[in-house]
Amino acid sequence: MLKRLYVRIRIGCVIGGGLIWLGVSTGCSPSVSPPALLLNIDGSMSTDAVRGKQMGVLDTLVQRMPVGSRFIVHRFDFRVSRIAGEHPNEPRDLWPVQDKDLKPSAGRKGTRPDLMLKHITEQVIPVLQEQQIGVVLVWDGGNNGKSLKPYITQLAQNKRIRIVWLVGLKRELWPQVEPEFKALASSGRLMTSGLDDAPQDVARFRERLQRDDT
C-alpha cells in the first residue's frame, strides 16, 4: 500500500495533516557543516488522503534539500514516537516501512503538540552536533494539551534554530496559535505556508535554513 501511495504522490505534491520536521542539510559551501531537519507528523489526522499529502511534503523536501541533509522524523498524537532518522537518497528512504506506522494510535484520541515540542527541545536538539537546524511542523493548529509557549521560547533562544516552518494551520485557529509563536516571529525565524503552497515554498525554507544571520 505504501509503495502505491508513494507513486501516486510523486505525480502531485501537496501536503496536509500535521507534522514537524527538523532537518540537517549540507550548507551553502564546503566549509559549512551540514544542518539538521526535524519532522513531526500529526498522526491524529492521519487519514489515507492526509498521509498522501504528507508524503508529498517529504518528497519535495528530500529532493530540494542539499545532498547529505539529515532528517529526523517523528509522529505524534497523544504520544510521540520516532519513525525515522536518515540521510536519504529518495523520499522512500525516510518513510516508515509500514503504512500503519502513520495511523492514529489505538485508544486515547487527541493532538498533543506540547509533548512533541517538549521531546525535541529536551531530548533531541541538545544531542545534535549540527550548527544549523530547521524545524518543520505540518499541523492544523489543534492542541489538546498544554501551552506551547515555554518550548517555543526555548527554540527562539537557541541560535542553532535557524527557521521554524508551520504548514497547514487552519485559518480559524491562527488567532489561538499566533501568541504561542510570538518569540520566534519577533526574531524573524517563523515561516508559515498553506497546504497547497508548501511544496513551492521549500526553496524559501532552504534559503532561510542556510542563511547565516543569527
Domain segments of the chain as ranges: 2-210
- Give mean pLDDT, residues 99-127: 82
Contact between 70 and 134 under an 8 Å Cβ cutoff? The reply is no
Side-chain half-sphere exposure of 180, counting CA atoms within 13 A: 20
pLDDT value of position 196: 79
- Give 107's pLDDT tier (boundaries 50, 70, 90): low
Range 7-34 average pLDDT:
42
pLDDT-derived band of residue 25, with 50, 70 and 90 as boundaries? Answer: very low
Work out the percent of the chain whose per-residue pLDDT is above 90: 36
pTM for the structure as a whole: 0.80
Q: Considering just the CA atoms, what is the radius of gyration of the chain in Å? A: 16
**Burial category of 193 from C-beta neighbours within 10 Å (exposed 0-12, middle 13-18, buried 19 and up):** buried
Number of other CB atoms surrounding residue 6 within 10 Å = 19
- Distance CA(21)–CA(147), nearest Å, equals 20
- In what helix (H) or strand (E) does residue 20 lie, and over which residues does it extend? strand 20-24
pLDDT at 8: 27
Highest mean pLDDT among 28-37, 97-106, 200-209: 200-209
Maximum average pLDDT range among 55-59, 66-70, 85-89, 131-135: 131-135
Where are the extended beta strands (E) located within 87-172? 133-138, 161-167
Q: How far apart (Å, rounded) are the C-alpha atoms in residues 137 and 130? A: 19
Residue 143 phi, psi (nearest 5)? -150, 115
Assigned superfamily of 2-210: von Willebrand factor, type A domain (3.40.50.410)
166 against 39, higher pLDDT: 166
pLDDT of residue 124: 94
- What is the rounded average pLDDT of the residues 92-109? 63
pLDDT confidence band for 126 (50 / 70 / 90): very high
